[in-house]
Amino acid sequence: MQPKLLVIPAIDIKNGKCVRSVQGIPELDCYEYGDDPIEMAKIWRAENAKMIHIVDFDGAHELSKRNYKIIEEICSSVVIPVEFSGGIRNMEDAEIIMNTAISRLGINTLAVNNRKEFLKVFNKYGPSKIVITLDVQDEELIIKGRTTKSGIHYRNFTKEMVEVGIKRFIVCDITRNGTLNGPNIELSKEIAEITGARVTHAGGIRNKDELMDIQKLVSLGVDSVIVGRALYENRFPCQKLWRVAESGIFN
């Protein structure tokens, strides 16, 4: 039986509300999709999601922890893994967010700007809990909530992370994120091929056909996809989406 693609709905939180934004930057156009991220998590779980991905905009841009109570309640309200990213800058930050009961923590800036502190976090929690969020623009790694160019080529960085022991990357071409202009599937494929690690694709998904394109890469290691705006705007019936994925119709 062909391996299945895991479809992960995204919940982006800003000021306690669900939002989606162009290129993951609230200032570029931020769309609110309801006041209650907790209820949204319950909806996705009711629609048979197997994991939820949370981005904390306030954490990423202001290093705020104001949304942590919400994240903790999401974790206690759904019986599926919750993946989190946004604003982790040291071991204390990592410990606080891990104590909310998230299952996986995505890190970006810390691994670039403070490798020693990142290694402390990674050595404590290991590759099943710590993944790298790889935000790319014109082949350059972008950090600090997608606001700052790092001057580092993504290939060099991913190879370094594999040497450290990273087993999964969340890969996003940020020029596609939230734009509904189509995914950069080749980037995710390349990361999987050059690292041998597992890859979660993020950004640009518009319809079922594009999910089927990514499904073809599961055997290469691109085994999951984060979908945001297309789900919120009903670009495909989400119940049918998960039923199709689980029945093995994708081939």
Query: Residue 124 has which token pair?
Result: 């404590």
With residue 11 as reference, give the H or E element that holds it.
Answer: strand 6-14
Active site residue 36: no
Supply the angle between the helices 185-195 and 208-215 in degrees, to the nearest 10.
Answer: 20
Tally helices (H) and strands (E) across the chain: 11, 12
Residue 176 to residue 50: CA distance in whole angstroms: 24
Residue 164 to residue 77: CA distance in whole angstroms: 34
Asked whether 143 and 113 are in contact (CB, 8 A), the reply is yes
- Which bin fits 151, alpha (ψ -120 to 50), beta or left (φ > 0)? left
**Cβ atoms within 10 Å, residue 80:** 15
**Cβ atoms within 10 Å, residue 106:** 23
Sign of torsion over alpha carbons 194, 200, 202, 204: positive
Active site residue 135: yes
197: three-class secondary structure by DSSP: coil
Catalytic residue among 93, 135, 173, 223: 135
Catalytic residue among 12, 93, 173, 223: 12
Residues annotated as catalytic are 12, 135
